[in-house]
C-alpha cells in the first residue's frame, strides 16, 4: 500500500496518546462490573469506553511546512478573536497581541500542537479556577500553562493551554530552550478546554469566529502576509 494512503483503521483505530491506555482500561473494567450488575448499565459503559478511546486519540496530521504559517494548536472551534495585552506571566502585559481562542469540546481530539516553528523561551504554570473555557475571563482566571515562543521568523508568540469546566489536568511536554517545528505535539488537556494563540502586532488572523479548526493543519495566520483580518459568515 502506498505511503500516506488513508485506510479505515486510521478512522476507526487511531493511535492513542500515552495517557490514554490507562483510562480506557479503567473504563472497560468499570463497564465489565456494570454489565455483571445489570446489562443496560453495561451498554452505557460500552458507549463511555468508546468515547474515552476516541477522546485520547492522537492521529498524525499533515502540517503545511512553508515558513511563516501559523497553524491551529488545537482541534475545535474558534471561540473568540480579541485584541488584548499579552499574558502577564510571560512578562507581556505591556505588549498588544491578537488572541485567537480555540475551544475544544469533550468530543474533540485534545492533543495540542506548536502553532509555529520556534524556540520556547519560557514556560509558566499558573494554578487557578475551572470556569467554563468559553468565557473570556478564563484566560486570566483558570488554571493554565503559558509558553513564550521566539519564532524562527523573528516574532514573539505566546501559546496558553487553559483548563475548563470539566478539565482537571494540563499536560505540557515541552521545556524552556526547546526548539520545535510547526505542528509538533506540545501536550494535551483533559477533558474539554481551550488553547489561546497570541499573534504579534501586524499578523492578522485568517480565520473567523465559529470556524472549525484541525490541530496541526488549519492555517490561522501568515507571518509573511499583509492581508487584513478575514471575515466570515454562516452559509
Residues with active-site annotation: 193
Separation between Cα atoms, residue 81 and residue 205, nearest integer Å: 8
Q: Contact, 162 vs 192, CB < 8 A?
A: no
Separation between Cα atoms, residue 63 and residue 165, nearest integer Å: 30
- The CA-based angle 65-199-83, given to 5 degrees, is 150
Do β-strands 193-200 and 144-151 pair in parallel, antiparallel, or remain unpaired? Answer: unpaired
Q: Which CA distances in Å does 235 have to 75, 76, 210, 232? A: 21, 19, 12, 9
- Among 78, 97, 87, which residue's Cα sits nearest to residue 141? 87
Give the contacts of 13 (CB within 8 A, at least 6 positions apart): none
Give the number of other CB atoms < 10 A from CB of residue 85: 13
User: Sign of dihedral through CA atoms 62, 179, 104, 17?
Assistant: positive
Amino acid at each position: 500500500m502506498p505511503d500516506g494512503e488513508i485506510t479505515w483503521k486510521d478512522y476507526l483505530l487511531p493511535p492513542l496518546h500515552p495517557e490514554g491506555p490507562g483510562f480506557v482500561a479503567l473504563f472497560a473494567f468499570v463497564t465489565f462490573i456494570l454489565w455483571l450488575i445489570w446489562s443496560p448499565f453495561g451498554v452505557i459503559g460500552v458507549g463511555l469506553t468508546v468515547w474515552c478511546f476516541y477522546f485520547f486519540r492522537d492521529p498524525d496530521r499533515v502540517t503545511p511546512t512553508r515558513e511563516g504559517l501559523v497553524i491551529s494548536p488545537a482541534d475545535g472551534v474558534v471561540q473568540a478573536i480579541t485584541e488584548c495585552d499579552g499574558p502577564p506571566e510571560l512578562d507581556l502585559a505591556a505588549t498588544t497581541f491578537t488572541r485567537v481562542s480555540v475551544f475544544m469540546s469533550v468530543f474533540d481530539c485534545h492533543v495540542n500542537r506548536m502553532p509555529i516553528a520556534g524556540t520556547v523561551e519560557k514556560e509558566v504554570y499558573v494554578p487557578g479556577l475551572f470556569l467554563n473555557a468559553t468565557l473570556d475571563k478564563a484566560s486570566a482566571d483558570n488554571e493554565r500553562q503559558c509558553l513564550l515562543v521566539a519564532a524562527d521568523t523573528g516574532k514573539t508568540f505566546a501559546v496558553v493551554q487553559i483548563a475548563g469546566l470539566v478539565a482537571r489536568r494540563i499536560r505540557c511536554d515541552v521545556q524552556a530552550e526547546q526548539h520545535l517545528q510547526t505542528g509538533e505535539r506540545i501536550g494535551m488537556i483533559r477533558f474539554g478546554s481551550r488553547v489561546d494563540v497570541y499573534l504579534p502586532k501586524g499578523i492578522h488572523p485568517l480565520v473567523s469566529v465559529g470556524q472549525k479548526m484541525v490541530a496541526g493543519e488549519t492555517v490561522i495566520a501568515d507571518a509573511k502576509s499583509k492581508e487584513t483580518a478575514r471575515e466570515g459568515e454562516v452559509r
